[in-house]
Structure 1
Amino acid sequence: MLYRLCMVLLCNREDAEDAVQETFCSYLRAKPVFESGEHEKAWLIRVATNKSRDLRRSLFWRRRADLEEAEKVAQTPEERDLLEGLLRLPDKYKIVLHLHYIEGYKIKEIAQMTKMSENNVKVHLFRGRKLLKLELEEEKEGAR
């Protein structure tokens, strides 16, 4: 799950692997105590998201969309188009769309994991779907 999240945020297998590895290193260093398995999962998601963002801010990271990686993950042309559209969205929309539609989390759970209000998560889902729809429509028109 963490790898898929980092993959959506970073668009590159190697960078996603680095972010996940750094997440587990942080886990081992911090040795946090959790109230439940869900609390632990939320902590890991938050740290993985932050590590991905840190990696994107680093001097050595250059923005790219590794479409070959998208082809490996997607099984059908429709899934590939959808994934490519998702990868082009801003992070704030990518994260909530990924957690909701791919990982299957409810809005309340996403709000707790991302430290956003439920209304803010709903807004990000709405706007993210709208942007994704526009991306896919533009891609269809460009293919004609």
Structure 2
Amino acid sequence: MDEAQFEEIAERYRDNLFAIAFQYTKNAADADDMVQIALLKCYQAKKPFENEQHIRHWLIRVTVNECKRYLVSPWRRYTAPIGDYAETLGFENPEQSALFFAVMELPQKYRVPVHLYYYEDYSVREIAKALGLRESAVQTRLLRARQKLRQKLEGWNDD
């Protein structure tokens, strides 16, 4: 892979990878680090990629693996409050802000499939493959995440 190809890939997937890494780390700086590691591994990869879908899947898989590795490392001592990062996002309306915080309060095993399904437009099959789960497990996690979000956001409109 030459530099021009790598720069194009990095530009195209950086934001998506950051969003996925943030779902795991809940910290912008750590999410940036995970994305950099994934992109570095892509640049150093010896095998050729078959197509765009293969690159995208490979980068997501590497990012997820790096995040999991990070979460069990002893270096993970302090994470910044989620509110600090949320202030930088600039939501268009209060509903978007409430939804963001509700999703971020979900357990990690629900946050990542929700992000991939609703924000990245991945199918259940693609999510299962990327996360190393069965399709039924992904469907169950999405169902439970929607139930938890419904419970959290139910009273929001009443206020």
- Which among 25, 28, 33 is matched to residue 13 of structure 1? 28
TM-score, reference length from structure 2: 0.77
1:77 aligns with 94
Task: Note the alpha carbon deviations across 1:90-132, whole angstroms, 9 max, x for none.
Answer: 1211111000101111212212222222222111110111122
Is the radius of gyration larger for structure 1 or structure 2? 2
1:34 deviation in Å? 2.5
One-letter amino acid of the structure 2 residue matched with residue 118 of structure 1: E
1:14 deviation in Å? 0.7
Instruction: Please list, as runs of the form range in 1=range in 2, the aligned pairs for 1:1-144 lying within 5 A after superposition.
Output: 1-61=16-76, 62-63=78-79, 65-73=81-89, 74-137=91-154, 140=156
1:87 deviation in Å? 1.1
1:41 deviation in Å? 0.7
| Root mean square deviation of aligned Cα | 2.3
SS of residue in 1 equivalent to 2:50: coil
TM-score, reference length from structure 1: 0.84
1:26 deviation in Å? 2.1
Identical columns (%): 31
One-letter amino acid of the structure 2 residue matched with residue 2 of structure 1: L
Size of the alignment, in residue pairs?
A: 142
